Amino acid sequence: MRSQGRPRGGDDTGGLVPRDWLERIAGLPAEGGPSGEVWARRAARLVDEVLAQWDLVVTGSAMTGQTAVVLPVEQAGRALVLKVGWPHEESAGEHLALRHWGGRGAVRLVAADPGRGALLLERLDSSRSLSPIQIDEACAVVGSTLRLLHVPAPPTVAPLAAWLGPQVARLGGQHGIPRRIVTRTQGLAGELLTDPDVSLLLHTDLHFDNILGFPDRPDEWRAIDPKPRAGHPGFEVQPVLRNRIEELGTGSAFRWGIRRRLEIVAEAAQIDPEAARLWSLVHTGIQIGWAAADDDGAGVSLHIAIFKALED
The dihedral over CA atoms of 6, 8, 11, 15, expressed in degrees to the nearest 10, equals: -50
Find out whether 48 and 1 touch, Cβ atoms under 8 Å.
yes
Hey, is 222 helix, strand or coil?
A: strand
Which position among 113, 125, 205, 209 bears the catalytic label? 205
212, amino acid identity:
L
- DSSP, residue by residue, 59-118: -S--EE-SSEEEEEEEETTEEEEEEEE---GGGTTHHHHHHHHTTSSBPPEEEEEGGGTE
Determine how many CB atoms are found less than 10 A away from the CB of residue 144.
Answer: 18
Hey, is 11 helix, strand or coil?
A: coil
DSSP code at position 172: G
Measured distance CA(242)–CA(309) in Å, rounded: 12
State yes or no: is 296 an active-site residue: no
* Residues annotated as part of the active site: 205
